[in-house]
């Protein structure tokens, strides 16, 4: 697939954009990118588990929305005039992950339009087994002053 990003970026810059946000609080870190995907890792620890000691489904959704929102923003032509806002997200939780492990999320486009974008986010455990599949719909709207 051809490069979809409208802006040049580095993983370091994307990670820096998450300082003082939920992304930093959960230690979500961008680790890879390609012409049409981004990947990030998130630890399964005291910040991201449910009381039973396994990955909380909400933490998976945070990882999914973080990846989708970053990807969406990179596809906006003029960031001074437009911004990305989440409209809908769903997630199917397929496998539990115990504390002490890491999950990897990968976002790829389903549709990148001028006003609506739809993203697929696949989250896997360290063994590459599917943990969660998510779909995020983003609206591209005028930036408010």
Q: Which of 24, 46, 65, 127 is catalytic?
A: 65
CA atoms 28, 58, 39, 11: torsion sign: negative
What total of structural domains would you count in the chain? 1
CA atoms 44, 50, 56, 59: torsion sign: negative
Range of the domain at 88: 11-142
Q: Is residue 3 part of a domain?
A: no
pLDDT score for 20? 97
Q: What is the pLDDT of residues 86-143, one digit of tens each?
A: 999 999 999 999 999 999 999 999 999 999 999 999 999 999 999 999 999 999 999 9
pLDDT score for 1? 72
Q: Is residue 66 part of a domain?
A: yes
Q: Is residue 137 part of a domain?
A: yes
- Cα 17 versus chain centre, distance: 13
CATH number of the CATH domain containing 124: 3.10.129.10
Helices (H) and strands (E) in the chain, counts: 3, 6
Q: Is residue 72 part of a domain?
A: yes
DSSP SS3 for 21? coil
Q: Is residue 5 part of a domain?
A: no
Q: Is residue 2 part of a domain?
A: no
Q: What predicted TM-score, i.e. pTM, was given to this entire model?
A: 0.96
Q: Is residue 136 part of a domain?
A: yes
- Does residue 65 have an active-site annotation? yes
């Amino acid at each position: 697939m051809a490069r979809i990003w409208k802006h040049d970026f580095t993983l370091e810059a994307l990670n820096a954009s998450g300082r003082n946000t939920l992304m930093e609080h959960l230690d979500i870190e961008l680790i890879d990118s390609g012409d049409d995907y981004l990947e990030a890792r998130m630890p399964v620890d005291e910040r991201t588990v449910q009381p039973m000691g396994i990955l909380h489904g909400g933490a998976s959704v945070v990882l999914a929305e973080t990846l989708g929102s970053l990807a969406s923003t990179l596809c906006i032509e003029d960031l001074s005039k437009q911004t990305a806002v989440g409209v809908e997200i769903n997630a199917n939780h397929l496998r539990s992950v115990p504390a002490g492990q890491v999950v990897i999320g990968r976002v790829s486009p389903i549709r990148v339009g001028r006003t609506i974008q739809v993203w697929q986010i696949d989250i896997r455990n360290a063994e590459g087994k599917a943990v969660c599949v998510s779909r995020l719909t983003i609206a591209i709207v005028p930036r408010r002053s």
